[in-house]
Amino acid sequence: MALTNGTETTISTRLLSRIIVGLIAVWSALAGLVLVGFEGAASGALGVGILDRAGQRLIGVHLLVLVPVYLLIALRPDRYRGLLWLPLAAQLAASLTISYNILAGDTDVEDGLLAVAVGAIFVCLLGFVWVTEQRAAARQRMEADLGADEQEQPGRGPNGYQAT
């Protein structure tokens, strides 16, 4: 038998979205800095099988360019709500592309596994939080509509018929 004290801790989906996008920004910044500035085992694992140094720098620069956009989305979600798809799409595209290269044999598993795993985790987290947020918003609209209907027609049931 589980004992509970009746208190619940909740966190808003909007805050969770901000945290996840912030983590994606941190991941992109670290990966970009490693790819641009460092050679060796870490850049090999983050370089996902790209063997030439110029290609790794190119990917690193692109990741670094996305970091300020991710930070804007995380810090001002109401203003940049329309851009929430960008971190989701970027992580999904990277995970699918690297997964395909691993399956095709163009990339070694140990070179691509880290990027695929991190990208997939971020896609699942952000997707789940986004779907949950949409469901919560739809539930609030439905409850508001039902409440407005009851105020307009007191004594009537949810279908507008006289309650008995």
Answer yes or no: is 135 within a domain: yes
Answer yes or no: is 132 within a domain: yes
Answer yes or no: is 25 within a domain: yes
- How does pLDDT run across 37-93, given as a tens digit for each residue? 877 655 566 666 677 788 888 888 999 999 999 999 999 988 988 888 999 999 999
Answer yes or no: is 1 within a domain: no
Distances (CA, A) of 119 to 31, 140, 163: 12, 31, 53
Answer yes or no: is 164 within a domain: no
Whole-structure pTM over 0.85, yes or no? no
Structural domain including 48 reads: 13-150
Average pLDDT across the chain, whole number: 82
Answer yes or no: is 163 within a domain: no
164 band by pLDDT with thresholds 50, 70 and 90? low
Q: What are the two backbone dihedrals, phi and then psi, of residue 77, each rounded to the nearest 5 degrees?
A: -65, -30
Answer yes or no: is 7 within a domain: no
Answer yes or no: is 162 within a domain: no
**pLDDT at residue 159, rounded to an integer:** 58
Number of domains in the chain: 1
Distances (CA, A) of 129 to 109, 118, 157: 29, 17, 34
**pLDDT at residue 109, rounded to an integer:** 83
